[in-house]
Copies of this chain bind each other. A is one copy, B any other.
Amino acid sequence: MSRTDAESYYAGLGDHHVQPLWRQLGTLLPREPTSAAVPHVWRYSVVRELLLRAGEIVSAEEAERRVLMLMNPGLAPLAAAATNLYAGLQLVLPGEVAPAHRHAASALRFVVEGEGAYTAVDGERTVMSIGDLVLTPSWAWHDHGNESDAPMIWLDGLDLPLINAMEANFFGGASERSQQQTRPADSTTRLWAHSRLNPTWVSWDQPYSPLVSYPWSVTAGVLKAALEEQTGSPYDGVRFEYVNPVTGGPVMPMLACFVQALAPGQGTEAHRHTSSAVYHVVSGNGRSIVDGVTIDWGPRDTFAIPGWAVHEHVNDAGDEPAILFSFSDEPVLRGLGYLREAPAERQR
C-alpha cells in the first residue's frame, strides 16, 4: 500500500470515531509516569496579600467562598496544585459567613492564620486555631464564619481534579446560611482526639473519620515527644498520619493527611512514589529537592511535589525542627494497587 493510501486511511478514521493505537502507544503506555505537574512553591506573603486584596474586591456574599486556588504551572488551567489534588487559600474576614453547602468532593482545612473563626460540620462547630486540621468530608453539610476581629486564613485541600475527572461530583446548597448546632462545639474532638479509646455508644457508619477537628495542641505534643526519641523514616523523618479512629485508615477515602518533623539540620534520603502531595510549612526553614529543582521554603509557604518525582527534604536551621503538614492521594492509589514507591539517588 502506498504512503498516500495510508495517509488517506488515517485521515478518514476520525469520521468513524476510531484512531490507531499504534501511533500513540508510547503516550498511552509510558515507560514510567512523567507528571505534567511541576514542583512549585507558593509564597505565603504573596498569596496572603492577593487574598487580602480580594477581600476588598469581592464580598463574601458575592464570592460564596473567597479562595485563591493554587494553580500548578504545569497543569493550569486545570484547578490543581498537584495531579489529583486541589489546594487553595481561603480568607474569611471578621463578621463574614460562608453559607452552608455540601458536595460529593472531599475537603480538608488546615488553619494558617487567625484564631476563633468556626467551621460547622453536620451540626457541630469547631473553633479554629493555627495548625488545626478540620475535615469537611464528602456530602457533609458545612459552613464557616469568623466571629473574631482578625482575618482568618486557611488552606483548603480537595480531591476535585480526580472526582471531576471521574465525573462523580454533586453539590447541594442549604436553605439556611448557617446550620443549627445539634452538638456542643468541638464535642467530637473532645470525645475522640486525645486517646485510643472509642466511645461505644456512637455507631458510626460513614466512610470518613468522626472527628471534625484534629487540634494542633495534640499534634504538637506528639511531634515534640517523637522528636526526642525517634528517628522516623529515612525519607520523611518523624511523620505521622492522621487516622480515622474507627478504621485506623485515612481520614477520608480519597485523601490522606500527614504531619512530619525534621530535626534541626536533618536531611533525608531521596525517594519517589506514584502519589503526589501538597505540603504546607507549619514552622521552620528548609528546602526540598524535587526532580533536581530546589524549592526553598519558610513558614506558611505551600508547595507541591508531583507524583513519581524524586524528592528529599532538608531542614536548614540548626536550632529548630521544621514541621510540615501535607495531604496526598495515597489512599486512592493504594486501593487500586497503583501505589509504587522506590528509593532514589540523593540529589545533594
Which positions in A face B, CB cutoff 8 Å? 1, 5-6, 9, 13-14, 16-22, 24-25, 28-37, 40, 42, 46-47, 50, 53-54, 56-58, 62-73, 76-77, 79, 83-84, 86, 88-89, 103-105, 138, 160, 162-172, 184, 187, 190-201, 207, 209, 211, 214, 218-219, 221-222, 225-226, 229-230, 232-233, 236, 238-249, 253-254, 258-259, 274, 276, 306-308, 329, 332-333, 335-340
Docked Cα-Cα span, A68 to B214, in Å, equals 44
- Our pick among B5, B28, B64, B195 for the contact of A25 (Cβ within 8 Å) is B64
Docked Cα-Cα span, A226 to B190, in Å, equals 8
Top 5 A-B pairs, shortest CB-CB distance = A201-B233, A22-B63, A197-B240, A21-B67, A18-B68
Number of copies: 4
**A232–B199 touching, CB < 8 Å:** yes
Docked Cα-Cα span, A124 to B104, in Å, equals 42
**B68–A19 touching, CB < 8 Å:** yes
**A22–B64 touching, CB < 8 Å:** yes
**B184–A229 touching, CB < 8 Å:** yes
**B19–A308 touching, CB < 8 Å:** no
**A171–B30 touching, CB < 8 Å:** yes
**B170–A24 touching, CB < 8 Å:** no
- Our pick among B5, B22, B164, B187 for the contact of A229 (Cβ within 8 Å) is B187
**B200–A19 touching, CB < 8 Å:** no
**B167–A199 touching, CB < 8 Å:** no
- Our pick among B20, B46, B163, B190 for the contact of A54 (Cβ within 8 Å) is B20
Taking CB atoms, residues of chain B closer than 8 Å to A32 are 170-171
Q: List 23 A-B contacts (CB under 8 A).
A: A1-B56, A14-B76, A16-B47, A18-B70, A19-B69, A19-B76, A20-B63, A20-B68, A21-B68, A25-B65, A33-B168, A104-B338, A166-B307, A167-B276, A168-B339, A184-B229, A187-B230, A194-B221, A195-B222, A196-B211, A197-B222, A201-B230, A335-B336
